[in-house]
Structure formats: C-alpha cells, structure tokens
Amino acid sequence: MTTEETTAAVLSPRDEKRAQRIAKNVKAFAAEHGGTADGVVEYVGKIATRIALVGADGQWGDQVAPSMAVAERAVELSGVTRHDSFEGELGLKVKTGEYEWKRMAGIQI
C-alpha cells in the first residue's frame, strides 16, 4: 500500500471529500501564482489545521481543514511541495505588501 492509499484509508468518506475539495482549491492557488506552490501544514487547534501556501510568484494564502489528517491528505492530492516549517528559504520566498507590513507593526489603518 502506498502512503497516499494509507492516508486515504484512515479517512471517512466525508473527510476524503473534504480533502479533495481543499486539494482542488490548493491546485487553483498554485495555478494562479506561477504554476507551483509550497505548503506547510500547521496545527491551529482542536477543530482546525491550516495549510499555509506560497506560490511560485511569492504570493501567499491558506486553506483551513477540519483536522490534521484532512489537511495532510489535501496536500498529498494537490501535489504541492510540503515543508516542515515556514522558515528559511520558504519564508524568504514570501512577498509582502504594504498591508502586511502595517499589520505586523501593529498599525491598523
């Protein structure tokens, strides 16, 4: 059994559908932002897991999944390159605009 089949086997049919829907959104993001994307799966809390994405053009976005298993399956299905953390080279790829810089500085205009 492949890793993809193993992950799919532990998901309920409902969660597999959720993963497929999220993967479709991730693929669309990649297509809109240079054709490829990198992602990091981040545990947010008991009811959510975030897939942080960085497109080839440096734009970023995210998708939220109801569980770690659904998020991991969505990443597998989407074909994006998965990273363990949002540090180093991946962090350097992100292009931030004026809005993000103001928010990071605590200025909310």
Domain ranges of the chain: 3-104
pLDDT tens per residue across span 35-76 = 999 999 999 988 899 999 999 999 999 999 999 999 999 999
Assessment of whether the complete model's pTM goes beyond 0.85: no
Tokens, residue 10: 């532990």
Beta-sheet pairing, 81-83 with 37-45: parallel
What pLDDT is recorded for position 6? Answer: 46
pLDDT band at 87 (very low <50, low <70, confident <90, very high): confident
pLDDT band at 79 (very low <50, low <70, confident <90, very high): very high
Q: Is the pLDDT confidence value at 9 over 80?
A: no
Please check whether residue 70 is in contact with residue 94, taking contact to mean a CB–CB distance below 8 angstroms: no
All residues at 6 or more sequence positions from 51 whose CB lies less than 8 Å from its CB, including other chains: 22, 26, 39, 40, 41, 42, 62, 63, 64, 65, 71, 74, 75
Q: What is the mean pLDDT of residues 72-100?
A: 87
pLDDT tens per residue across span 11-37 = 999 999 999 999 999 999 999 999 999
Q: In 3-state terms, what secondary structure has residue 40?
A: strand
For residue 6, CA distances in Å to 10, 73, 87, 109 come to: 7, 10, 29, 48
Rounded distance between C-alpha atoms, residue 17 and residue 38, angstroms:
22
